[in-house]
Amino acid sequence: MAASDNQLQAALKSRHVSMIAIGGIIGAGLFVGSSSSIAQVGPAVVMSYGLAGLVVLMVMRMMAEMAALRPGLGAFTELVREVLGPRAGFVCGWLYWYFWVIVVPIEAIAGAKILHIWIDAPVWAIGVALLGMLTGVNLMSTRSYGEFEYWFSLMKVLAIVSFIAIAGVWAFGLTSPTGPTWGNLNAYGGFAPKGWGAVLAGTASVIFALTGAEIATVAAAESHEPARTIARITSSVAARIILFYVLSLLLIVAVMPWTQIVPGTSPFAIALGHMAIPHAEFVMNLVVLVAVLSCLNSGMYVTSRVLFVLADKGDAPAWLVAVNRRKVPARAILIASLFGYLALAASVISPELVFSFLVNASGALMLFVYFAVAVAQIVQRRRIEAEGRETLPIRMWLFPWLSYATLAAILSILVAMMFAPARRVELISSLVTLGLAMGAAWWRRRA
């Protein structure tokens, strides 16, 4: 890490990091974005989310195996650097930073559109205010970020648990006037009305809604017991994916016909309205707003920490390796905030050209980073086994077969993106970003 006078403070508790992991998984992609997936796949969308969840779970387990050996690195992308070399660390670090620095303005705009329902002000002005507010939260202290994220995530969890309880008693016929409604899973074209090919294609779309759990491995470096914390969060991520995504979506398509789900609207709100729950749309708007603010908060946090570590390794300007008296990398936070304001301006001035390109150019970056993590885990495990030098506190399951299967799954999703018109532009633009990062890494190490 950085020099002793530029150390980040271990201010986060285990409860903070656990909720950060949950918050990373539960975002607006579940509460709103899942409507498009349901419309494209049908009830079998639960299989798409299940498959995508398995891929993310495997990557998280591989991260955990490596991070448990070096729990204080500060960013999981540094695990790739240690195994695959400085160029790989440079590329993964900057790709991950770019992915999340684009999430920041996207979430600010999403939150502003919701608040615009109740506040008579321009969307861009509300977005600027939200970005400024959460920049301030991150500048206060690492503990303040953790506390905000803890309560944001707790509200999201309570919302989902409440929905599961309400929809569950309806699906089993306890509150439904027509008795059990599980027949909706097969009544409108079958369980997979668009075919099983659509289920696999849907996996390529929904996996992006499941990214974010890895933020917890970054936050763990600022916790009191990094190794133990990492072990705890990775062992429970599977249950979270199953509970929060698969079960909630299963109940949505069980309580009502999936054909009534309108893409771009919250399927949770539609389902609650179908069950005649009062003020369903208002409640879901509040829940989505909390999800958006949570993601914006985490985006500000993770971009600053990754940039801090990149600067510490000489891959970003050295003046970014500085913390204020509260042990917060204030300069790195302000850089992320500045980029967010510039992207917000682009969304107003040139939404169809500049902002669209910025968003598309980040579309597949997480898959590139996950692929590098998987390769690094395989290489490191082979080295450890060949040398017989270390006992692993956390092990990847069924190594090497599940590791190779994860690599194959990520490649399959990338190939599926190439053949999906809606995703092809994102993949090509992201490949351009990858090429630029690799070129910069080559130039940086050659200079």
Express each pLDDT in 148-196 by its tens digit.
Answer: 989 998 898 899 999 999 999 999 999 999 999 999 999 999 999 999 8
Tokens 């969840």 belong to 53
In the Cβ-directed half-sphere of 247, how many Cα atoms lie within 13 Å? Answer: 16
Q: In whole angstroms, give the CA distance from residue 249 to residue 15.
A: 27
pLDDT, residue 3, reads 40
pLDDT, residue 1, reads 41
Report, as an integer, the average pLDDT of 29-52. 90
Q: Is pLDDT at 30 greater than 80 in this prediction?
A: yes
Residues 6 or more apart whose Cβ sits within 8 Å of residue 33: 209
**How many of the other CB atoms lie within 10 Å of CB of 159?**
21
Which among 2-6, 57-61, 101-105, 251-255 has the top mean pLDDT?
251-255
Residues 6 or more apart whose Cβ sits within 8 Å of residue 121: none
Percent of the chain residues topping a pLDDT of 70: 92
Residue 12 three-state SS: strand
Lowest mean pLDDT among 47-56, 186-195, 227-236, 330-339: 227-236
Do the Cβ atoms of 252 and 234 come closer than 8 Å? no
pLDDT, residue 243, reads 77
Q: Is pLDDT at 2 greater than 60 in this prediction?
A: no
Q: In whole angstroms, give the CA distance from residue 366 to residue 26.
A: 16
Do the Cβ atoms of 303 and 105 come closer than 8 Å? no
Do the Cβ atoms of 204 and 416 come closer than 8 Å? yes
Q: In whole angstroms, give the CA distance from residue 337 to residue 428.
A: 27
More confident: 346 or 5: 346
pLDDT tens readout for residues 123-148? 999 999 999 999 999 999 888 888 99
Residues 6 or more apart whose Cβ sits within 8 Å of residue 399: 381
pLDDT tens readout for residues 93-131? 999 999 999 989 988 998 999 999 999 999 999 999 999
Residues 6 or more apart whose Cβ sits within 8 Å of residue 260: 270, 274
- pLDDT averaged over every residue in the chain: 88
pLDDT tens readout for residues 368-410? 999 999 999 999 999 998 887 667 888 899 999 999 999 999 9
pLDDT, residue 130, reads 95
